[in-house]
Structure 1
Amino acid sequence: MKRLALGLSTALLLLCSAAHADIITYQATLNGTNEDPQNNSSGTGQARVTIDDVLGTMTVNASFSGLSAGTTASHIHCCTALPFAGTAGVATSLPTFPAFPLGVTAGTYTETFDFSNLSTWNPAFVNNNGGNVAGAQAAFLAGLASGRAYLNIHTSAFPRGEIRGFLTEVPEPGSLALFGLGAAGLAGLRRRRVTAAAS
């Protein structure tokens, strides 16, 4: 019985890891307080970046409102020296995401990028990370995973960035459920051991 419980718990934890390997989602709350240096913008926004490591794609979803002036650019910067602090150069395409709404104070954006396409990347980011898209992708994914990448929206009032947010990983509900089942199985096994020892 002990081996069965342990085997089941291990299998569930492995399934949790396997399910997580295909799609990884990051999110950020965008505001002026998150800028460096901070600003007093009343603008706000949300960003969601979904990585599909099987297809080799990245989907960027963003919404924003209340900006002080019209948008001039938006992109993802990577990689800061420390997690969730500081500034970094632009990692994605320049001068802005393709088809990002410009000259507006509110809007939404959705675009899917192919990691293997050179146009997805800032040429300087590629050159600084091995000189090829594989190196750029590896550095970018490492930056995302370690909290050293942020999405920034620039405006004419704040050319260096009016609102930004560091991207943090969103746990998958299925993975959390599987992890919970595995943890419950291990807790049950421990409880039986304690009960048996007390008898």
Structure 2
Amino acid sequence: MIRSLAALSLLVLAPAFTFAHEVTYTAVLTGDAEVPAISSPGTGTATVTVDLDLATMRVQADFSGLDGNVTAAHIHCCTPPGGNVGVATPTPTFPGFPSGVTSGTYDMTFDLSLDTSYNAGFITNHGGTVGSAMTDLIAGLDAGEAYLNIHTSTVGSGEIRGLLRAVPEPTGGMLALSGALMCGILRKRWAS
């Protein structure tokens, strides 16, 4: 019985230790989030997932209702909320981002170990190497100092944007507690 319980505990807790080292950031994109704020019927969402083991960054975005046609989209970093700062990712726009439209979707994964995943000025201003640029971009994302911005023909400085915030993940302690509770419930059932 104890062996069965130990084996079950391992099965319940093992997934907590096998996940890739990923951090997910999300943002709601609005005109109100622009600095200064603007009036736009446009809205959107963005999800950025950084895999620290693979050194990749997946950017997903959905947007609609823009006043103007999209001319560019990218991530700006690193400034406290309410500020404006230079572009960290490729310029003038993300490769393959929908252009000339007022609504669309985007999904692209970038290799953060390549200089083509950054604006050259960002690399220069953040230590001069791809490694230092990657470190600063991730630190900016973690600190809530990066935002995704969609620029349009109507508002060249940006029609909608959103501050990227880390999505809280369950902690190891919470996962262990969940596993222990599950084992306790199953132990009671087996004892009955």
Which ranges in structure 2 are unaligned for 5 or more consecutive residues?
A: 1-12, 180-192
Residue of structure 1 in register with 2:148 after alignment: 151
Matched ranges for 1:110-189 at <5 A: 110-172=107-169, 175-176=170-171, 178-180=172-174
Residue of structure 2 in register with 1:106 after alignment: 103
Distance 1:78 1:131 in 2: 16
Residue of structure 2 in register with 1:45 after alignment: 44
Distance 2:128 2:175 in 1: 44
Q: Residues 168, 156 of structure 1: CA spacing in aligned structure 2 closer, same or farther, 3 A cutoff?
A: same
What TM-score do the two structures reach when normalised by structure 2? 0.81
Tell me, what secondary structure is at the counterpart of 2:89?
coil
Matched ranges for 1:2-151 at <5 A: 22-80=21-79, 82=80, 84-151=81-148
Tell me, what secondary structure is at the counterpart of 2:133?
helix
What TM-score do the two structures reach when normalised by structure 1? 0.78
Distance 1:112 1:134 in 2: 18
Paired residues of 1:85 and 1:148 also in contact (CA < 8 A): no
Q: In proportion to residue count, which structure has more helix?
A: 1
Displacement of 1:179 in angstroms is: 3.4
Distance 1:20 1:166 in 2: 26
Aligned length: 167
Amino acid across the alignment from 1:116: S
Displacement of 1:171 in angstroms is: 1.9
Which ranges in structure 1 are unaligned for 5 or more consecutive residues?
A: 1-11, 186-199
Amino acid across the alignment from 2:66: L
Q: Residues 180, 162 of structure 1: CA spacing in aligned structure 2 closer, same or farther, 3 A cutoff?
A: same
Amino acid across the alignment from 2:96: A
Displacement of 1:130 in angstroms is: 1.1
Q: Deviations over 1:156-192 (max 9, x none)?
A: 11100000000001123xx25x43356799xxxxxxx
